[in-house]
Structure 1
Amino acid sequence: MTDRTAIRIATADGQAVTVTSRSAAVTDWATQYFGSWWNAAPAEPPISGALVSADIDTSAYEDMAASVFVHGSEPDKTDYAGSPMLHARHGDGGVVAVQTEERLAYRWEPSFRRMRIAGSDETGVATAASRLAREVVRGMLLVEGWQILHASAVTRTDGATLLVLGDKGAGKTTTAFLLARAGWRLLANDRVFVRPEDGHVRVLPWPSAAACGFGLLDALGLFDPVAERLRGGQQMHPTQGRRVTDALLAGRREPLWKANGKEMKPRFFPDQLHTWLGMALATEGRAAGLLFPRIVASSGPRLVGEPRRLSEVDFLTSDTEDRYPDVFGLLPMTGGSAALVSGLSALPHQALALGRDTGSNAALLEKTAAGLID
């Protein structure tokens, strides 16, 4: 470990991985990415347990990339984190992979619980290191009986947590952000880990970048402060599109769209949700209620009477994971257990429709959230 920096990443449940690199930028990135929701602290040698070793090393990248093709057969192909990936499994169970567009190569050595990453770009290597560190910890949590919900979550200071569920575009992030700005602590904005414990359901965060549309950012009074930080030289998450950054710098608030009709949004590191957007963050909670929002722009916000229940489709499984397929064999993916589904389904729950007016939406959400779990 000479001349290397090392950061130990640990959840509130005690599952941990160490990220190490010759570049302090890589471990600094991991600290920024995980420190707000999981624990991130310097690790001193000797290093034990799961390890992600990530370096800016063009020679190592080329050697690892070449090893994907050494078996005389075509490697498997998939999309991983939005980029094409070629990968092959060795006879010892290890996996090698390469993303040539990103100039990133990977080698997973299961017998040593070590992930090696090499690339030629500091930002790319840092992003990959944090992403794979999360995947390693994710696998550990799943082995311990945790499962993943497609949900946002906010938590009171006493730990009581509201889970916000719905399909893409239903308003999960909007709901969570509005409640976080109203004094709740943000636990997650897209996915959460859940597990039954001692008669309740414990909730842990899934650290990730957060996207916030121009309209919501402006309605919260945060567009100008964010733009000023950018003009002052501060950086947002690198997955943010250049058009989004340019619009923020120029003060343009109109939504931007990709050719496929998907909105392009400002993207924030987890710690920026607190330091830039003023939202307190939480590291764990216990489920106390469920909200099921949906956006209905043609009307004002209101409670909805028709039932909406938690189901298997709300859980992340190997069949529904579309962004981080289990290329490296890290994840024992299952759906929600009957006990977990039953425990969550027994909680107070409410469906509601959100309209265009942010103030009205916030007022309804605050009243509903307080009444649901008090």
Structure 2
Amino acid sequence: MTSAIRLEAATAAVTVLSNRADVTDWALRYFGQWWNAAATEADGVHGDSVVTADLDPAAYEAISLLVGDGRPTGTVSYAKHPLVVARDGDDVVATSPGEGIAYRSTPSSRRLVLAGTDVWKLALSAARLAREVARGQLLRDGWAVLHSSAVVRPDDNATLLTFGEKGAGKTTTALLLASNGWQLLANDRVLARPIGDRDVEVVPWPSAAALGLGLLDSLDWFATAREHLRTGGGFHPTQHRSVTAALLAGDPTPLRDGKGRERKVQVFPDQFPHLFDVPLATVGTAAALLFPQVIADSAPGLADGARTLGEGDFMSGATEDRYPDVFGLAQGIDGGGRESARAEVASRLAVLPHHAVRLSHDTQASAAVLGKLADSI
């Protein structure tokens, strides 16, 4: 029996089909409210892009043999796995032996087929590709991808976009505001497009949110996360086992890998409202830009010298190299959007209020500063 989930994000619509409900259930959870995911009838997909992901070892073998059947091939890294890619007429065929997944992409009919040997790996890959299919549609429709967190005021959809380098406080800013009356639209990136004469519309980019153990503790969410694990719950499977162990042990000390990068709790989108009482938003209109800086022992407050947006505040093909467009989903458009779309979004955001803000590890004081600033917008 075929199960189906339909995703809608602004101008994009994608249906995920599978012979295993585990696959579509995963997509339903992963995209959820942010991309209006809902169960649908398998035969009601007319006009949508379709991702079919079946647990089918025979089909996996057949496509894999086709890839290696004397055709010119290339190997790329896709989602950190080697992917062998070839052409079969107008179709793109590919195989990922490490994951046990083979692919056939037919761009002309907006169909992408996955055949897998492991249901869990298949579910992860199907959600990833469904998101890439939607992104391709949105990029072709004039959207751009911003490296920004975002919160929305529920009464008028006014949206605060927060920019900064890794560790600047984008996620902290968004979660502090979302814990105090605003709705969370995104913790790391958003899709944006010009609408009307001067506005910029923004929608979420669904992904797991990475929250440091210290941040979780400062938000008073650590005990909730620990209890969730102790009662049989879990977080996103990409979470490192040492983070899970620290949560269970009640130790909020930040953890780092051998390269000094912090290991974090990986939170599903649907866990924000269900576990942490943080409401989600599905769309907003840009109203102001924030540029935070976290200085541990400082006094939170407004700072001088809010910067302007730069190229690094937009995602691009170079920054999205984990998912190169080997399947032709964006039809040659840069992974961050057309240059003209990025330029117009940047021009419109440039005339909005810009605020530099200094945050500290005192979350109550930081939240008070952010709340006062948000109330003025």
TM-score, with normalisation over the residues of structure 2?
Answer: 0.93
**Could you say which residue in structure 2 is the equivalent of 1:165?**
163
Q: 1:92 aligns with which of 89, 112, 118?
A: 89
**Could you say which residue in structure 1 is the equivalent of 2:353?**
348
| One-letter amino acid matched to 2:304 | G
The 10-residue stretch of structure 1 (158-167 or 226-235) with the greater mean CA deviation from structure 2 = 226-235
Q: How many residues align?
A: 367
**Matching of residue 153 in structure 1 with residue 185 in structure 2:** no
Mapping for residues 159-198 of structure 1, pairs under 5 Å: 159-198=157-196
- Helix, strand or coil for the counterpart of 2:165? coil
| One-letter amino acid matched to 1:253 | P
Change (3 A) 1:97 1:260: farther
After superposition, give the CA deviation of every residue in 1:133-181 in whole Å (9 maximum; x if it has no partner). 0110111111111111000000001100000111111111111011101
Q: CA RMSD in A?
A: 1.7
- Alpha-carbon distance between aligned partners in 2 of 1:152 and 1:71, rounded to the nearest angstrom: 46
Mapped contact 1:85–1:97 kept (Cα < 8 A): no
Mapped contact 1:69–1:75 kept (Cα < 8 A): no
Question: How far did residue 113 of structure 1 move?
Answer: 1.3
- Alpha-carbon distance between aligned partners in 1 of 2:244 and 2:117, rounded to the nearest angstrom: 24
After superposition, give the CA deviation of every residue in 1:300-342 in whole Å (9 maximum; x if it has no partner). 3232212300123211121222332222121212345332211
Question: How far did residue 41 of structure 1 move?
Answer: 1.9
Change (3 A) 1:246 1:121: farther
Question: How far did residue 46 of structure 1 move?
Answer: 4.1
Mapped contact 1:172–1:293 kept (Cα < 8 A): yes
Alignment gaps of 5+ in structure 2? none
Mapping for residues 276-287 of structure 1, pairs under 5 Å: 276-287=275-286
**Could you say which residue in structure 2 is the equivalent of 1:111?**
108
- Helix, strand or coil for the counterpart of 1:353? strand
- Alpha-carbon distance between aligned partners in 1 of 2:185 and 2:23, rounded to the nearest angstrom: 25
Question: How far did residue 298 of structure 1 move?
Answer: 4.5
- Alpha-carbon distance between aligned partners in 1 of 2:219 and 2:6, rounded to the nearest angstrom: 35
Change (3 A) 1:118 1:242: farther
**Could you say which residue in structure 1 is the equivalent of 2:325?**
326
Question: How far did residue 110 of structure 1 move?
Answer: 1.4
- Helix, strand or coil for the counterpart of 1:337? helix
Change (3 A) 1:19 1:181: same
Question: How far did residue 231 of structure 1 move?
Answer: 1.4
| One-letter amino acid matched to 2:183 | R
**Matching of residue 315 in structure 1 with residue 314 in structure 2:** yes
**Could you say which residue in structure 1 is the equivalent of 2:70?**
71
TM-score, with normalisation over the residues of structure 1?
Answer: 0.93
- Helix, strand or coil for the counterpart of 1:134? helix
- Alpha-carbon distance between aligned partners in 2 of 1:123 and 1:300, rounded to the nearest angstrom: 47
